[in-house]
């Protein structure tokens, strides 16, 4: 029986059928690979287009922040400290108003006072670092100011 099966498998008809089945399987796998490649290429193109758009928007924003006159630079330099002073004054008003309404920290339970102290301290540290970063980031990046030209 094994010999008969081997004879059938070794015949030309069986070889054609087996070759055809494996060829069909091969084409099926190639089609799946092409679909996968096409999906990857579409995702790549979409990602590149999104990155290009974000880069373009960032460049446009950067360009919009540039001033083209000494007068504009002077206004910008004057407005930033003014806004900061207004915000600090508003914070002071809120703090003093809350002190008057609640009677101060001495009237709060110890657990709440400790939690409030912790939150306020963390917020002050965060806001201070943000403010310092903002002021230094707003300085011009003129390398000639830091590296004078050699005669």
Question: pLDDT, tens digit, for every residue of 112-143?
Answer: 888 888 888 888 888 878 877 777 776 655 54
* H/E stretch holding 131: helix 110-137
Rounded (10°) CA dihedral 73, 77, 80, 81: -170
> Among 63-77, 78-92, 112-126, whose mean pLDDT is lowest?
63-77
Encode burial over 63-84: b for 16+ CB neighbours within 10 A, e otherwise: eeeeeeeeeeeeeeeeeeeeee
Q: What is the mean pLDDT of the chain?
A: 79
Given this model, what pLDDT does residue 44 score? Answer: 92
pLDDT bucket at 149, cuts 50 / 70 / 90:
low
Placement of tokens 């579409």 in the chain: 42
pLDDT bucket at 8, cuts 50 / 70 / 90:
low
3-class secondary-structure state, position 142: coil
């Amino acid at each position: 029986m094994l010999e008969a099966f081997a004879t059938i498998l070794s015949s030309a008809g069986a070889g054609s059928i087996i070759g055809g089945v494996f060829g069909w399987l091969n084409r099926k796998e190639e089609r799946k690979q092409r679909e996968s490649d096409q999906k990857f290429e579409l995702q790549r193109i979409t990602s590149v287009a999104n990155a290009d758009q974000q880069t373009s928007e960032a460049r446009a924003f950067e360009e919009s922040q540039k001033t083209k006159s000494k007068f504009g630079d002077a206004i910008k330099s004057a407005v930033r400290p003014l806004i900061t002073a207004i915000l600090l004054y508003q914070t002071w008003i809120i703090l003093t108003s809350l002190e008057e309404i609640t009677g101060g920290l001495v009237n709060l339970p110890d657990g709440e006072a400790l939690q409030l102290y912790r939150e306020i301290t963390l917020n002050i540290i965060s806001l201070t670092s943000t403010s310092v970063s903002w002021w230094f980031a707003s300085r011009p990046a003129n390398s000639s100011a830091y590296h004078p030209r050699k005669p």
